[in-house]
C-alpha cells in the first residue's frame, strides 16, 4: 500500500512518520509545496519548524510536485489531506482535477467552513460534484484525541476513521493501525466531525476558566455542560449523539481542554491573561481551529435551533464584544434548567 500525505505541518508529519515506521520503504510520501522546507527536513532528519525533536524514519519519501504526489497512488492506496480546515476546499479541488481513477481520500482537519458552516465531508462533497469527472471516490475523516508531538514520538494513541465506505476504513486501518496506534471505524461522519469542531471551542472556554483561576469544579462544569451542547448539536445535524461519548467527542474534549500541548487551551489561557487575539495567534505559530470555527458553530446552532450557551459566549469573547470575565458572569447568571 502507498500513502501520500498532503501538508507537512505538525500533524501531517506525525502521521507520515506513523505510517512510514511500519509500511515498506518508499511507500509513504509527504508532500509540501515548499521544496526548501522538504530539503530542510531531509537534512535535519526532522521537521524542526513544526515537529521539533521527532526523528523521522529514513524510509519516508518527500515530494514537492503536487501532481507526482497524486499520480503515485493506485485505486487501492490512500491519500491523506493534512491541511487546516481553511485549505481543505482548495486542496480537494486540486486533487479531484488531477485524479485519473477513483481515490481513497481522508482528511485530518477539524472544524467548519466559516462562510457556509459546512462540515469537512460536506465541503468535499460539494467539490466532488463540481470536479470529480464522473469518478466515484471514497471519503472519510480521521479524528480523535491526539497531539502531533506524541504521535510523532510513537506514544500510544487511538483514533476513529469515519466513512460510509467499509473498504476505506480497512485501508486506513492498514495504513495506521500498528505499533502504539489503534484505529476504530465509524459510519457517523456528522457526529465525528462535529465533535472535533465543537471540542476546540470548548477547549478555549476551559482554558479561560483555568486562566482566571476558577477552579477544578468550574472546569468539570464547562466540560460536562459543553458535552451536552455537543450532543444536542450532533443530534440536530443528523448525527448520533452517542458518537459524542467516544474518542472523537468526550475523548478529544478531555485531551484538548486539559492538555498543555493544546493550542486551543493556550488561546483561552492567554485571553484570560488579558492578551489580544491577534497577539495570541501571532505568538502561537500554529493554527488554533477553535478560533476559526467558533462563530460558524454558533451560526449552525442558531440555524438548527440548538441552545449552546458556552459556545455562544466563546463566539462573543473571540469577536471582542465580551470580556472573559463578563462571559463567566453571564453564564453563571443564567436561569435554572433541567440537566438533561
Closest by alpha carbon to 202, among 112, 93, 293, 135? 293
Residue 12 labeled ligand binder: yes
7 in a labelled binding site: yes
Is 199 labeled as catalytic in the residue annotation?
A: yes
Q: Is 148 annotated as a binding residue?
A: yes
Q: Where are the alpha helices (DSSP H) in the chain?
A: 10-20, 35-44, 66-71, 88-98, 120-131, 148-152, 166-176, 189-211, 216-236, 252-258, 263-272, 277-284, 289-304, 309-319, 324-332
Task: Report how far residue 8's alpha carbon sits from residue 64's, in angstroms, rounded to the nearest whole number.
Answer: 10
Question: Binding residue per annotation — 184?
Answer: no
Largest CA distance in the chain: 61
Is 33 known as a binding-site position? yes
50 is in an annotated binding site: yes
339 marked as part of a ligand binding site: no
Q: In the beta sheet, which residues pair with residue 138?
A: 104
Residue 294 marked as a ligand binder: no
64 is in an annotated binding site: no
Given the residues 100, 129, 164, 199, select the one marked as catalytic: 199
138, 139, 182, 296, 312 from 125: Cα distances, Å: 11, 9, 27, 19, 28
- Is residue 65 a known part of a binding site? no
275 labeled part of a ligand binding site: no
> Which residues are registered as beta bridge partners of 329?
none
Helix (H) or strand (E) holding 79: strand 78-81
The annotation places the binding site for substrate at 110, 263-264
The annotation places the binding site at 7-12, 33, 50, 110, 144, 146, 148, 199, 252, 262-264, 287, 289
The annotation places the binding site for sn-glycerol 3-phosphate at 110, 144, 146, 199, 252, 262-264
The annotation places the binding site for NADPH at 11, 33, 50, 110, 148, 263, 287, 289
Residues classed as catalytic: 199
The annotation places the binding site for NAD(+) at 7-12, 148, 263
Amino acid at each position: 500500500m502507498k500513502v501520500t500525505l498532503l501538508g507537512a505541518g505538525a500533524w501531517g508529519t506525525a502521521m507520515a512518520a506513523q505510517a512510514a515506521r511500519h509500511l515498506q520503504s518508499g511507500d509513504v510520501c509527504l508532500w509540501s509545496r515548499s521544496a526548501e522546507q522538504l530539503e530542510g527536513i531531509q537534512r535535519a532528519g526532522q521537521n524542526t519548524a513544526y515537529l521539533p525533536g521527532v526523528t523521522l524514519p529514513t524510509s519516508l519519501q518527500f515530494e514537492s510536485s503536487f501532481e507526482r504526489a497524486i499520480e503515485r497512488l493506485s485505486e487501492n492506496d490512500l491519500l491523506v489531506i493534512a491541511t487546516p480546515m481553511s485549505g481543505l476546499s482548495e486542496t480537494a479541488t486540486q486533487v479531484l482535477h488531477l485524479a485519473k481513477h477513483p481515490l481513497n481520500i481522508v482528511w485530518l482537519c477539524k472544524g467548519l467552513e466559516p462562510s457556509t458552516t459546512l462540515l469537512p465531508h460536506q465541503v468535499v462533497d460539494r467539490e466532488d460534484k463540481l470536479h470529480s469527472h464522473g469518478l466515484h471516490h471514497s471519503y472519510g475523516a480521521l479524528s480523535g484525541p491526539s497531539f502531533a508531538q506524541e504521535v510523532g514520538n510513537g506514544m500510544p494513541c487511538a483514533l476513529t476513521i469515519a466513512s460510509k465506505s467499509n473498504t476505506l476504513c480497512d485501508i486506513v486501518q492498514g495504513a495506521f493501525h500498528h505499533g502504539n496506534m489503534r484505529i476504530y471505524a465509524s459510519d457517523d461522519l456528522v457526529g465525528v466531525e462535529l465533535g472535533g469542531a465543537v471540542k476546540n471551542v470548548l477547549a478555549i472556554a476551559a482554558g479561560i476558566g483555568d486562566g482566571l483561576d476558577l477552579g477544578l469544579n468550574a472546569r468539570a462544569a464547562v466540560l460536562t455542560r459543553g458535552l451536552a451542547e455537543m450532543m444536542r448539536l450532533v443530534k440536530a445535524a443528523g448525527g448520533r449523539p452517542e458518537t459524542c461519548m467516544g474518542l472523537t467527542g468526550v475523548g478529544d474534549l478531555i485531551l484538548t481542554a486539559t492538555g498543555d500541548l493544546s493550542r486551543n487551551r493556550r488561546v483561552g489561557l492567554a485571553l484570560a491573561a488579558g492578551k489580544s487575539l491577534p497577539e495570541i495567534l501571532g505568538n502561537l505559530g500554529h493554527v488554533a481551529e477553535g478560533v476559526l470555527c467558533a462563530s460558524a458553530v454558533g451560526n449552525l446552532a442558531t440555524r438548527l435551533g440548538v441552545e449552546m450557551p458556552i459556545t455562544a459566549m466563546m463566539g462573543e469573547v473571540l469577536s471582542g464584544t465580551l470580556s472573559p470575565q463578563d462571559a463567566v458572569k453571564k453564564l453563571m447568571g443564567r436561569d435554572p434548567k433541567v440537566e438533561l
